[in-house]
Amino acid sequence: MKFKAYKVLVVALAVVFASGLLFAATPEQYLAQGNTFLKAKQYDKAIQYYNASAKMKPTDSAYYYMGLAYYMKGKKAEALSSFQKALKINPANANAKKMVAKLQGGGAAAGGSKANQYLTMGHKYLKAGQYDKAIQYYNASAKTQPTYQAYQFMGTAYYKKGDKANAKVAYEKSLQLNPNNTGVRNILAKLGGGDASSEPRLSQQMGVHPLLLAGLFAGAIAVLFLF
């Protein structure tokens, strides 16, 4: 009897969890939840919810706050890409403009100059076949001022030294900053750049967001306890 009551409790909790996700499955609520995690400095969680909001309904707010979360994590390339997406949706977003200027070099000529110097040194070592040195300078360039060129050549250096995993990461960052770069897109296709985790693929097939799908799975697993 006690065991049966326990199973019922498990199912009830799972249903509450799943239904909570169901009721929260609106872009605005995902955005609000993301803001809660951003304030709590749980940046990975915040990005997850901002991404969920943007996939359901792309807004400049979702991408702007996603950019802030990436920026706080120290991921400048991803932050810049998010801020640029915010501006594509709403060119009048002043806060996104300020962050793009800050990251891209608007009013920061010295930073841009330094980034170009690092880039030039990277090219020198790349041509000489000293790939580790090249990567070091390309990384310094990207940290000073994130550009698609720095990440593209970083990817090339990784690729030439046989490190395809890091090459893929660098090329993906380059493509985030310049989605129209067909050369990088073709290289990523060869490296399997379109591969994704099984859960997002399943969720896309079902037309359900991964966060909601996780809740539904939890409920389904709990129901098994009844039998």
Domain ranges for the chain, please list them.
Answer: 26-104, 109-191
Right CATH for 109-191 from 1.10.20.60, 1.25.40.10, 3.40.50.620, 3.40.50.10310: 1.25.40.10
| Spatial CB neighbours of 97, under 8 Å, sequence gap ≥ 6 | 87
Return d(Cα 84, Cα 87) in angstroms, integer. Answer: 5
Contact 188, 172 (CB under 8 A): yes
Q: Encode pLDDT of 165-191 as tens digits.
A: 999 999 999 988 888 888 899 999 988
Q: Nearest Cα to 50, choosing from 209, 215, 213?
A: 209
Question: How much of the chain is helix, strand and coil, in % rounded to 5?
Answer: 80, 0, 20
Which band of pLDDT confidence, cut at 50, 70 and 90, is reported for residue 30?
very high
Architecture of domain 26-104: Alpha Horseshoe (1.25)
Note whether 26-104 and 109-191 share their fold. yes
Contact 179, 152 (CB under 8 A): no
Supply the pLDDT for residue 40: 93
Give the SS3 label for residue 211: helix
pTM: predicted TM-score of the whole model, two decimal places: 0.51
Angle at 148 between CA 171 and CA 47, to 5 degrees: 75
Return d(Cα 97, Cα 91) in angstroms, integer. Answer: 8
